[in-house]
Amino acid sequence: MRIVATMMILIMLTSTLSGCTSDEDENIIEIRIISPVEGDWGEGKIQVSIATKMTKSETIEIWINNNYYSTEELGVIKDFNIDSSLFSYGSSAPVNLNIELRHQNESISEVNITALFPQQMTFWSSEDIQPEFDLNGELLFKSSRGLESGMYEIYHFNPGITIPSKISTGQEYHGYPGPSPDGTHAVFNSRVIDDAGDNQMEIFTVNISTGETVRLTDNPAFDDSGRWSPDGSEIIFYSNRDGTMDLWKVSVNESGYPLGDPVKVLQSDAREHCGRWSFDGEYIVYESDKTGINHLWMITSDGLNETQLTFDDNQNGYPAWHPNGDYIVYNKQTSTSSNLHILSLLDGETKRLTMHHMGIDAHPTWSADGKYIAFHSDRAGDFDIWIVEIPLTI
């Protein structure tokens, strides 16, 4: 099932007359494509909106990849659609589209973009959310299927190959599942009833095959969102055990047992959370509201060299690394939607990954080969797991 969104292409077309003649053949047609810019990505139906100063209609031909697509009659305002799915040939692979505008057999303007085709992977009438790739291409996620509201269990599957199967644990609630480097274990957070009868959130690990569950943290504070280091020696999480939400980590063995007490990674008065290791373990990207708005920040794995990565006026969160360490995918939340973006650490530029629909795309994760990004979305009505194949060369 493919739900398509819209991308606006604004084409400013002006018409001037040569001299005082009224001969239409002497009209000079000037077209300038403002958006999308060269190299942009888009998904689904591309809505073409044309604003013009023309006082009478003209016809213009739309050519896609040097093939005739349609003829549009342009007046003062004219809209039409380009359905990029017609060029996918049933594949989820990205497709390069050359959109060319022709008038009287002459090319007037063109732009090259890449069409993407997100694919829905789960279809239950439940919440399937928070996907996370392991190094073997399997996805972990949490799901409320068959459970009362607010409860979740962990599932895993190989997209397009196997169906989701539940991972049994010794806990009832499960959040933010993440795989161990070798794929044999998962880390998650779960509620525990303390001696006073109150709920507290703790970090656990589980053997995926046997269901053996190990408690990593034991503190009245809120511990959440654990992630295994690439070498398997540590698990990072966030906790408010010192009064503010900060990044902590705990040493573990290969079976997910703790080897000591948690230690703080970063000292700050702001709220830091959702720490994610780079694939080489050298860096950690995370969210912080240090500037008053939730932005992406980065530190070296020893907690030093704090660097702000995003600077706009939106709430940015749920970061995840590209395998080569040069890019970070994240979701940007505006007043009307939540969409995915990719940040280049090479030049600071961002590229929008998912487009203009009114739903929520969030919690992206990058596959180890750099070819796919999984995320959860309610674009089909319920929250499900989706995957989009992206160009290997970003």
Read off the pTM.
0.90
Contacts of 34 (CB under 8 A, 6+ apart): 10, 11, 12
Answer yes or no: is 204 within a domain. Answer: yes
Residue finishing a domain among 116, 149, 164: 116
* 255 & 360 share domain: yes
* 183 & 59 share domain: no
CA distance 365 to 373: 6
Answer yes or no: is 28 within a domain. Answer: yes
Contacts of 347 (CB under 8 A, 6+ apart): none
Residue finishing a domain among 116, 138, 171: 116
Answer yes or no: is 41 within a domain. Answer: yes
CA distance 113 to 334: 24
* 317 & 240 share domain: yes
Round the CA-based radius of gyration of the chain to a whole number and report it.
Answer: 25
At 153, which CATH number?
A: 2.120.10.30
* 110 & 146 share domain: no
Q: How far is CA 230 from the centre of its chain?
A: 21
Residue finishing a domain among 70, 93, 116: 116
Domain with 65 in it: 6-116
Answer yes or no: is 394 within a domain. Answer: no
CA distance 219 to 194: 9
What b-and-e string marks burial along 331-353, b requiring 16 or more CB atoms within 10 Å of the CB?
A: bbbeeebbbbbbbebeeeebbbb
* 166 & 110 share domain: no
pLDDT in tens, the chain (394 residues): 333 333 343 434 333 323 333 344 444 456 667 778 899 998 888 777 776 666 677 888 999 999 999 998 876 667 778 899 999 988 899 999 999 988 889 998 888 999 999 999 999 999 999 999 999 999 999 999 999 999 999 999 999 999 999 999 999 999 999 999 999 999 999 999 877 778 899 999 999 999 999 999 999 999 999 999 999 999 999 999 999 999 999 999 999 999 999 999 988 889 999 999 999 999 999 999 999 999 999 999 999 999 999 999 999 999 999 999 999 999 999 888 899 999 999 999 999 999 856 789 999 999 999 999 999 999 999 999 999 999 977 7
At 43, which CATH number?
A: 2.60.40
Answer yes or no: is 106 within a domain. Answer: yes
* 258 & 148 share domain: yes
* 260 & 228 share domain: yes
Answer yes or no: is 1 within a domain. Answer: no
Contacts of 359 (CB under 8 A, 6+ apart): 337, 338, 377, 378, 379
Question: Do 284 and 276 touch, CB atoms closer than 8 A?
Answer: yes
* 125 & 69 share domain: no
Number of domains in the chain: 2
User: Quick one: pLDDT at residue 30?
Assistant: 62
* 131 & 105 share domain: no
